[in-house]
A and B are shown apart, each in its own frame.
Chain A
């Protein structure tokens, strides 16, 4: 398929072109960046209808020697999410980033990050995956420090040290894999691993991998950087980081490597660690979120908690668990991006992120107010919005797998989530407006567009999912996107046969 390399080539080319446009007018830069992300979104929409697995050999070097780009169900889903959020984030940036002077530099780094994300999703070579992972990470370190205030630099430094150590863990495990198998192509790796008897070496490698990816995904013992880094970035970037970045670099890469390459069967009972990690992340993220006064910091803790849900469902290892994990991943990308855009809109209008200095904003900012209610209801799992369905599926999957205690934890954390988001609503949007805020205005049109599109998506996905009641396949989203993605995971190491010839 000829368009696969474009997902990497277009944003990377745009990054360098934008870096040369430092002196250009802001409108030119805006148009260029938005056209690029719009094209990428359109390309990823055209991929929806592809069936089966498609590979593209880079430079016509056949696997296992050459690098392949792989397109299967899981890739299609991830590409669609990443490019959708990226498109909305660039629209949002048109107005939001006006107060920063170096807009071209911002877009340039943004495109580089997008290159890394698309690359991680598409690549079929494990070292190549590491390289794209680091491209995305380095761009994100710069974006976190973009405001160059004290807090932002500090957060960026902390994030950079922790996340790079995570990257080195991944590199070390890749080195070990290469030492044991002598190949780097993921499909070929999987073939060799499944033909070998002893699993101890691979178990150790998998442990290193889980550590590395857990640091990148900010799962609870390794979450310390996230609540500093995500709020410090400019809001469109926070939305990208929380919405898709930690999922692509952490969860997607982990799923791909553990399920498709190493194979869960080698891990055996050690796989249960995922359930524990997920449950601990859910609880601790939610508890820490309760006490926050800073709007974006609260959202960042909520990301830790919601990623816990995804890891928990993924760790169940059942087909329904995978489906629920992917569904929640999609939904979380949509509503968390929406909520960070909301926080950005509030910050844009009022100039503060402190919840106690806000109040009654709904009166002056109706669009932001209404969309934030939609986001709140979605994330806390209130029907008919999308979050309800994915959380319901996670709970059903837990019960189906016989893990009742985890199901109870999932329900309790959902209640906690509702509690702290109601606090946001009460402090920021409801009640009487403060004297100091009496002359604020609703945000400009481009920001409103992003907010409305995401809020509508929350509702539409939720309404579409109502049809799950009549059987899984009657929902469009499940039938067209989630099921093919789930099949890839259920298929496990069967991934090989679709990529390597013969």
Chain B
């Protein structure tokens, strides 16, 4: 069970690495997406239970047993929101990357250096 959290954090580290090291706008955007997924995955893992059931309570079900079996629905709701936010940011990034490509004819960050220090 611990392994999956470790993998999730490795994904997070890969995202950070990509954003810091890569010089291509598209690769930076992809790294951002990986980072976003890592955080969302972590959120989902918090609420996850092995062999859990959907959090819909049927009439006559025992409350304590239901709580013990069901997965936590709240992280799933939160992740939906966070995915939408991530989508918005990604779209804006891609839109600006396209505009930058129009101006410079390249995606290479090193070749677009109007800004200093």
Instruction: List residues of A whose CB falls within 8 A of some B CB.
Output: 127, 130-131, 134, 138, 141-142, 145, 148, 150-151, 153-158, 160-161, 164-165, 167-168, 171-172, 175, 178-179, 184, 227-228, 288
Contact = CB atoms under 8 A, between A and B. Distances in A.
B42 A131 contact: no
Interface residues of B, number: 32
A161 B28 contact: yes
A115 to B, nearest CB: 14
Contact of B104 (A150, A168, A288): A150
B57 interface: no
B78 interface: yes
A164 B115 contact: no
| Interface of chain B, main secondary structure | helix
Contacts of B46: 175, 178-179
A154 B35 CA distance: 21
Interface of B: 12, 16, 19, 25, 28, 32, 35-36, 39, 42-43, 46, 74-75, 78, 81-82, 85, 88-89, 92-93, 96-97, 99-100, 103-104, 112, 114-115, 117
Nearest to B78: A127
Contact of A153 (B42, B88, B103): B103
A205 to B, nearest CB: 13
Given A134-B85, A161-B28, A164-B32, A154 B115 contact: yes
Contacts of A157: 25, 93, 96-97, 100
B115 A131 contact: no
A171 B88 contact: no
Contacts of A153: 96, 99-100, 103
Nearest to A231: B115
Nearest to A127: B78
Contacts of B82: 130, 171
A10 to B, nearest CB: 22
B32 A161 contact: yes
Contacts of B19: 161, 165
Contacts of B99: 145, 148, 153
A164 B88 CA distance: 11
A164 to B, nearest CB: 5
B104 A156 contact: no
Contacts of B74: 178, 184
A328 to B, nearest CB: 27
A156 B112 CA distance: 13
A63 B103 CA distance: 51
Contacts of B35: 165, 168
A151 to B, nearest CB: 5
A154 B100 contact: yes
A167 B19 CA distance: 14
B32 A175 contact: no
B115 A168 contact: no
B28 A156 contact: no
